[in-house]
């Protein structure tokens, strides 16, 4: 069962071989955020801003995009969509009526240029559309979708079709959810057993077929360029330093579901956001024992979201999906 974090809104712009996913705050004031980057080849925007020692603590949306570094332009469109609604950081602190507001929109991208058209990537308009769909309440089949949707359209998981996945749980009186674009260099299937690293209870793939699969490599290159990116969300009232720890432990989920993880050719990046379900009183803090449970839940949700992305994906762009290798067993 999926337990939604009520303060989060999701919107996708699917573009066949690439796409954009917007994770937005329902509250115009934004959501407290942090980030942890583990991959050796990240493509990101506004991640320095999220360090706990810096001034701005809240963001208004986080963009997950295909298109490699070109896809970062989607965040420009997201900013426009938010600014048009009067959402953003009040740069004059209310001292100037109707003063400028600057939306804070961090972003991370995956490398999917080896899939489909290498000159087709998300742009500003696509980011704008994804945010509008998130905030205007897109249809459930869009916001609740997994697999070949949004930034997961062109994703590759090892030699399989990757995608967008989601998972959530409840722990210590709070909800923790993960929204992940699974596009790792590493394998998600154990070549000895045929089973998913992240969930061995799932049916095994046909290893005879699986071992013949190849990565999409234009021009017969041997380059391996990928990335797993995502957002961990919780309704626990965590501060930026505590959220950074949550993002760090969330990476354990990538390491469990992908072998190897955090390679020099991955850009593995996880954001963590807090959208408390009640007003937080000054000095109120989640006990350290509960924060440990939240971290454990974050890792489990990231792992499960990667599995959801792979299991939900459909074969496309010459990539074979997991479901087509398990036949009737899936």
Distance CA 250, CA 103 (A): 26
Percent of the chain at pLDDT > 70 equals 92
- Residue ranges of domains in the chain: 8-329
DSSP label of 189: B
User: What pTM value is reported for the model?
Assistant: 0.94
Q: Does the structure show a pLDDT above 70 at 199?
A: yes
Distance CA 307, CA 313 (A): 10
Topology of domain 8-329, CATH: 3.60.70
Q: What is the pLDDT of residue 221?
A: 52
Distance CA 220, CA 223 (A): 9
- Kindly state the tokens that stand for 151: 């930034």
Label residue 230 exposed, middle or buried (CB < 10 Å: 0-12, 13-18, 19+).
buried
pLDDT: is 225 or 184 the higher one?
184
Over range 39-63, report the average pLDDT. 93
Over range 172-177, report the average pLDDT. 95
Q: Does the structure show a pLDDT above 80 at 121?
A: yes
Coil, helix or strand at residue 63: strand
């Amino acid at each position: 069962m999926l337990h939604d974090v009520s303060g989060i809104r999701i919107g996708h712009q699917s573009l066949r071989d690439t796409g954009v996913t917007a994770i937005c705050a329902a509250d115009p004031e934004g959501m407290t955020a942090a980030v942890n980057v583990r991959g050796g080849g990240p493509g990101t925007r506004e991640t320095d801003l999220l360090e706990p020692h810096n001034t701005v603590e809240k963001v208004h949306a986080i963009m997950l995009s295909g298109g490699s570094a070109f896809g970062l332009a989607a965040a420009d469109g997201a900013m426009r969509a938010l600014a048009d609604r009067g959402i953003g950081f009040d740069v004059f602190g209310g001292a100037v009526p109707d003063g400028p507001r600057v939306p804070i929109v961090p972003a991370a991208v995956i490398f999917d240029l080896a899939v489909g058209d290498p000159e087709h990537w998300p742009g500003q308009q696509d980011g704008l559309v994804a945010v509008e769909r998130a905030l205007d309440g897109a249809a459930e089949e869009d916001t609740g979708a997994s697999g070949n949707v949004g930034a997961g359209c062109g994703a590759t998981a090892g030699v399989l079709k990757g995608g967008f996945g989601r998972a959530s749980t409840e722990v210590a009186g709070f909800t923790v959810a993960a929204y992940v674009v699974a596009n790792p260099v590493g394998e998600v299937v154990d070549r000895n057993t045929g089973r998913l690293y992240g969930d061995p209870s799932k049916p095994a793939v046909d290893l005879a077929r699986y071992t013949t699969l190849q990565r999409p490599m234009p021009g017969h290159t041997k380059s391996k360029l990928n990335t797993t990116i995502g957002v961990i969300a919780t309704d626990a009232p965590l501060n930026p330093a505590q959220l950074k720890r949550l993002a760090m432990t969330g990476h354990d989920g990538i390491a469990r579901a992908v072998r190897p993880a955090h390679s020099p050719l991955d850009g593995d990046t996880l954001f963590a956001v807090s959208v408390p379900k009640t007003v937080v009183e000054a000095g109120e803090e989640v006990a350290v024992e509960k924060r440990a449970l939240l971290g454990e839940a974050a890792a489990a949700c990231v792992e499960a979201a990667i599995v959801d992305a792979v299991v939900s994906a459909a074969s496309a762009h010459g990539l074979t999906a997991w479901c087509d290798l398990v036949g009737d067993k899936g």
